Amino acid sequence: MEIYLLIVVILLILAVSDLIVGVGNDAVNFLNSAYGSRVAPHHVIMIVASIGIAAGTLFSGGMMEVARKGIFNPEHFYFAEIMTIFLAVMLTDVILLDFFNTFGLPTSTTVSIVFELLGAAVAVSLIKIWNTTGDLGQLIIFINTSKAIGIISGILLSIVVAFTVGALIQFFTRLVFTFNYKEKINRYGGVFGGIAITAITFFILIKGIKDASFISDEFTAWVTNNSGLIILVSFIGWSILFQIFVFLKVNIFKIIVLVGTFALALAFAANDLVNFIGVPLAGMHSYQIASGSENISELLMEALKGKVESNPWLLILAGVVMIATLYFNKKARSVIKTEINLTRQSEGYERFESSLLARSIVRAGVNLTQKIGKVFPASSKHLLNKRFENAHLNLTTPDGQKISFDLVRASVNLMVASVLISIATSWKLPLSTTYVTFMVAMGTSLSDRAWGRDSAVFRINAVITVIGGWFFTAFIAFTVAGFFAAIIYFGELIAIIILSIFSLVIIFRSHIAHSKRSKEEATIEEQMVISKTTSALTALENISKKFNDFLSVLSSSLESALTSFTAFDRNEITKCKDELKRIKKDGNKIVSEIIAVIRNLSENEVKKGRRYGKIMGATQDISYNYRTLVVKLFEHIENNHRPLIPEQIKNLGELKDALITQIRKAQENLNTPESFEEFKKSAEFVSELIHKFDENQVNMLRDVSGDFSTRGNLLYLDILSISENISSQLGHILSVLNKNYVSLTKEQAQPK
């Protein structure tokens, strides 16, 4: 029994880990609207969510049947096989959810645990069948496949229904309140508040506390049978109360968002707790059953089919871990940030790139919108656009803090999610809480015109990535859990130790990767936030610093690219090509910073002609030209074309050294403006060198007896031309920065 005691200990340790990574992912479900709208200070939001989690933990009935039955039939498995399944599931779940948290992607903890149980049970069942009859048709005896089919259909149903309903409700809500909702709240606030809180109240009754151990079956049945009456009374009562709040100048949207946050946190703790501790508790219960058996090798686990009340102290402990995770888990904030960034009203740093599918969807959407627009008269379109005025203004709180979306959208997010989940629960439809809340948020952001032409392709691709990740969750959970179960089944103690160490290593490495990525994104976001009190000189110094960093990356990459090309080193040039996204992002950082500076400049500063536009254009040109250069070098080697002749290779070596010198002189000038003359000399040397090489190349082409490669010659001339463009644009930027710096320094030195 010692090995099984070890498994129980590992399961309990994994339970704590799973609570941390699970809450880290599911926190987005109930914190997104509160954080996105900055409905209250951070500590207030956390207190509300914590109270919701604590209440949900207490309301939880503690019935962990999903871990013991439903996915598989425990009466057909021996004790050792059950423990193998449980351990494989928990190891997989911790790794999988931590992976999603590391990359800030929301997924469903229910889907992960269900498909892990399914995968591990299938693997063990196949081994049992292989060792006995060999008849694969017997698999249906061990596995209940209807649950998995229900989960998959739930994903599809959640995506379509939640997105569509969220978009429609937000569209009509915005028509009523517009973006200047404070002017409309006196007229419609009471009714809207009544609808919203009624939906949330019904959600708490149906989804949040329906399985509470102290709630009788009679009360649950009464709620179900009298749903209409409850809704009607709640609506009338809440509407009257909220209209009173409106007259008292109370912001009812804040109340709705905070109550909605509490409700979703409560439902999360009450219903999803099983996803994190259900399997470890089932494993502990199995061990207790086996401890009283004389022959555990022949012990079938039919006892797991019955209901077992969980220890309330364990549930309370789980609640404490969940609340602590909210406060201290940085990965939870990354997942929340991903959803908020996808739904924010303003433009900003887009973490996801575009894709062919996203571009096709945007193109189809634009065409459809244009066709629909032709049907409606101009007066109707004007009236509609009037209701959506100020949709793209930067939203802020009264104290000046930037917000991602307003309280109207936050309220709709919570209200619609509550309604859909309540209806699905009442009708026993397999909607997923995670998928509903996420897709509702996407739908409301679309209706609010948050996905503009400049950002739609990136955000749609992000949504596609997240949805793809949901199906990826099911596939990987099933596959990895099955693989782990097979290893544990045959490897026993050695396999358990190796897989446990492997899990620790994976989590540790993902923590490092997450910290690195979080720092990079935080740096980018800080660069894009320029205070209105920032002086023009300080802003220019910030731009110079960012451009200096950009040149450091460019210099290193350029040297590597030209060196690897002349050596015809495919591996190294491939690495240079893979780094092009970073070059592009670094260039975009500078442009974004300059745009932020311009938006905060006074009218007097704008009129002084600082030529920020020239810096932006030249930076983009350098980035574009360099990316073009590397792609051409890569394609030449990738297509196995002839290398350049020795003289051309020698010339490129000299050109590389000259360009690197010019870039370094540029960096010195950014740090010491007085060294501009040295930079000019290095730029002139590059220009003279390129002209000489170009002239020599033309003379070589006139030699008809020479054995030259046409492609090689064209590429060589392209390299010279692109290098000249980079050098020239670099000169333009340094010239503008120096002139601005000198003039601003003189202005600052003048007495006021």
Listed residue (414, 109, 52, 93) closest to 269, CA to CA: 52
Classify burial at 615, counting beta carbons within 10 Å of its beta carbon; exposed 0-12, middle 13-18, buried 19 or more: buried
Listed residue (329, 748, 273) closest to 538, CA to CA: 748
What DSSP line would sit under 567-617, residue for residue? TT-HHHHHHHHHTHHHHHHHHHHHHHHHHHHHHT--HHHHTT---HHHHHH
Q: How confident is the model at residue 237 (pLDDT cuts 50, 70, 90)?
A: very high
Beta bridge partners of 396: 402
Q: Indicate the DSSP class of residue 138.
A: G
Which domains can be identified in the chain, with CATH numbers? 2-522 (no CATH), 530-749 (1.20.58.220)
> Would you say 61 and 220 are in contact if contact means Cβ atoms under 8 Å apart?
no
Q: How confident is the model at residue 359 (pLDDT cuts 50, 70, 90)?
A: confident
Q: How confident is the model at residue 518 (pLDDT cuts 50, 70, 90)?
A: low
Q: Tell how many helices (H) and how many strands (E) occur in the chain.
A: 26, 0
The amino acid at 707: D
Q: What is the pLDDT of residues 546-597, one digit of tens each?
A: 788 888 888 888 889 999 988 888 888 888 888 887 788 777 777 776 776 6
> What are the structure tokens assigned to 558, written together?
């350029």
pLDDT score of 486:
92
- Report CA-CA distances (Å) from 57 to 202, 209, 291: 19, 10, 29
The amino acid at 153: S
Q: Indicate the DSSP class of residue 439.
A: H
Residue 521 has pLDDT above 60, yes or no: no
Average pLDDT in the chain: 79
pLDDT score of 480:
92
Q: How confident is the model at residue 66 (pLDDT cuts 50, 70, 90)?
A: low
Q: How far is CA 235 from the centre of its chain?
A: 36
Buried b (16+ CB within 10 A) or exposed e, 362-373: beeeeeeeeeee
Residue 375: partners with Cβ closer than 8 Å, 6 or more residues away = none
Beta bridge partners of 72: 143
Backbone angles phi, psi at 402, to 5 degrees: -75, 135
Classify burial at 224, counting beta carbons within 10 Å of its beta carbon; exposed 0-12, middle 13-18, buried 19 or more: middle
> Would you say 275 and 109 are in contact if contact means Cβ atoms under 8 Å apart?
yes
Classify burial at 748, counting beta carbons within 10 Å of its beta carbon; exposed 0-12, middle 13-18, buried 19 or more: exposed
Residue 18 has pLDDT above 80, yes or no: no
Q: What is the pLDDT of residues 250-271, one digit of tens each?
A: 888 899 999 888 888 887 777 6
pLDDT score of 244:
92
Distance separating alpha carbons of residues 607 and 47, to the nearest angstrom:
49
Backbone angles phi, psi at 690, to 5 degrees: -65, -40
pLDDT score of 241:
92
Q: How confident is the model at residue 41 (pLDDT cuts 50, 70, 90)?
A: confident
Which of these ranges, 96-100, 131-135, 379-383, 607-611, has the smallest mean pLDDT? 607-611
Residue 483 has pLDDT above 90, yes or no: yes
Residue 90: partners with Cβ closer than 8 Å, 6 or more residues away = 10, 11, 14, 15, 18, 279, 280
Q: How confident is the model at residue 533 (pLDDT cuts 50, 70, 90)?
A: very low
Instruction: Choose between 266 and 630: higher pLDDT.
Output: 630
Q: How confident is the model at residue 531 (pLDDT cuts 50, 70, 90)?
A: very low
Residues 611-622 have a mean pLDDT of 77
Distance separating alpha carbons of residues 451 and 302, to the nearest angstrom:
53
Q: How confident is the model at residue 532 (pLDDT cuts 50, 70, 90)?
A: very low
Listed residue (49, 539, 101, 17) closest to 279, CA to CA: 17
Residue 553: partners with Cβ closer than 8 Å, 6 or more residues away = 582, 583, 586
Instruction: Please state at what angle helix 217-225 crosses helix 227-247, rounded to 10 degrees.
Output: 80
pLDDT score of 705:
54
Q: How far is CA 165 from the centre of its chain?
A: 23
Distance separating alpha carbons of residues 168 and 57, to the nearest angstrom:
34
Q: How far apart are the first and last CA of the chain?
A: 85
Buried b (16+ CB within 10 A) or exposed e, 488-517: bbeeeeebbeebbeebeebbeebeeebeee
Q: How confident is the model at residue 598 (pLDDT cuts 50, 70, 90)?
A: low
Residue 400 has pLDDT above 70, yes or no: no
Residue 185 has pLDDT above 80, yes or no: yes
Distance separating alpha carbons of residues 414 and 262, to the nearest angstrom:
10
pLDDT score of 63:
43
Percent of the chain with pLDDT over 90: 4
pLDDT score of 479:
92
Listed residue (95, 109, 63, 9) closest to 322, CA to CA: 109
Classify burial at 197, counting beta carbons within 10 Å of its beta carbon; exposed 0-12, middle 13-18, buried 19 or more: buried
pLDDT score of 62:
45
Distance separating alpha carbons of residues 198 and 499, to the nearest angstrom:
49
Residue 139 has pLDDT above 80, yes or no: no
Residue 397 has pLDDT above 70, yes or no: no
0.85 exceeded by pTM: no
Residue 426 has pLDDT above 70, yes or no: no
Q: Indicate the DSSP class of residue 373.
A: H
> Would you say 400 and 184 are in contact if contact means Cβ atoms under 8 Å apart?
no
> What are the structure tokens assigned to 208, written together?
């949040």
pLDDT score of 186:
83
Q: How confident is the model at residue 643 (pLDDT cuts 50, 70, 90)?
A: confident
Percent of the chain with pLDDT over 70: 81
Q: What is the pLDDT of residues 290-348, one digit of tens each?
A: 887 777 777 877 777 666 566 677 778 888 888 888 777 776 677 777 777 777 776 66
Residues 46-59 have a mean pLDDT of 83
Buried b (16+ CB within 10 A) or exposed e, 437-464: bbbbbbbbbbbbbbbeeebbbbbbbbbe
Listed residue (519, 528, 542, 585) closest to 344, CA to CA: 528
Question: Angle 23-26-27 (CA atoms, 0-180°, nearest 5)?
Answer: 75
> Would you say 585 and 579 are in contact if contact means Cβ atoms under 8 Å apart?
no
Residue 37: partners with Cβ closer than 8 Å, 6 or more residues away = 257, 403, 404, 405, 406, 407, 409, 410
Residues 207-217 have a mean pLDDT of 62
Distance separating alpha carbons of residues 26 and 331, to the nearest angstrom:
11
Classify burial at 735, counting beta carbons within 10 Å of its beta carbon; exposed 0-12, middle 13-18, buried 19 or more: middle
Q: How many CB atoms lie within 10 A of CB 346?
A: 15
Q: What is the pLDDT of residues 619-629, one digit of tens each?
A: 888 888 888 99
